[in-house]
Amino acid sequence: MIIDADCHVSPTPEGGGSSISVEVLLRRMDRAGVDKALTWLQPPYKREVAPANRYVYEASRKYPDRILGFGWADPNLGVEEAKDMAKRCIEEYGFYGVKLNGAQNEYFIDDPGLSLPVVEVIAGMGKVVAFHSGADAYQRTHPYRVGNVAEKFPDTKFLLVHMGGAAFHDLSRAAIEVAAKYPNVTLIGSAIRTIPILNAVKTLGPSRICYGSDTPFELIHVEVAKYNAMLEGVVTEEEKEMIMSGNISRVLGL
């Protein structure tokens, strides 16, 4: 079993692979031997969060055995609107949680006036919160900021997406430090090099990191091959299964 923990789809896919439909995602999953994909909307966008979330929902209804729907909220479009969107994603769409991206949407992910009210709604409904955390916007999405939020909501599960990567440089050491301090934080090793991923596995153990491809920004079959080569001789088959599917299954409560 392989579950990709970081995939994006768009209701308005463009040519050249910069954004893809759910059907293209499924074809790429089939090629890579990926069984399921944690799926959220494809940025960039202006104000089309609602229709993009709806598209992910419809994809999860159409392909329930393959697409694991996950929501998206942008507090810069209005905190109350973002809170309502989070509630809709959970109550109406049945998503596993909601993602906040301070890099794409330009806010500090631990901002008490913007981000935290939305996190509070998601946490109060018992769902998972995902944060983009990368060196592409290190001031707004630094792993330490994820730690600030995780400390305030110790009973909520957090996904630290990209584990501080998503750029030529990375903040993976900080991401590992945060995950070591806060057991409610799980790392997704997408858009980051192999050495930082292996450092996370060796430091935290194989139960705290999940495979992810960051499709369509990377190719699923290439990322699966990378993980297979990277983990060979480093972990047991059981531990590899945890990284490739078991850990994200546990976090999402599958």
Residue 49 phi, psi (nearest 5): -65, -45
Instruction: Print pLDDT tens along the chain (254 aa).
Output: 999 999 999 998 876 668 899 999 999 999 999 999 999 998 766 667 999 999 999 999 999 999 999 999 999 999 999 999 999 999 999 999 999 999 889 999 999 999 999 999 999 999 999 999 999 989 999 999 999 999 999 999 999 999 999 888 899 999 999 999 999 999 999 999 999 999 999 999 999 999 999 999 999 999 999 999 999 999 999 999 999 999 999 999 99
Cis preceding-peptide flag for 51 (omega within 30 of 0):
no
Partner residues linked to 40 by β-bridges: 8
Distance of alpha carbon 214 from alpha carbon 196, whole angstroms: 16
pTM: 0.96
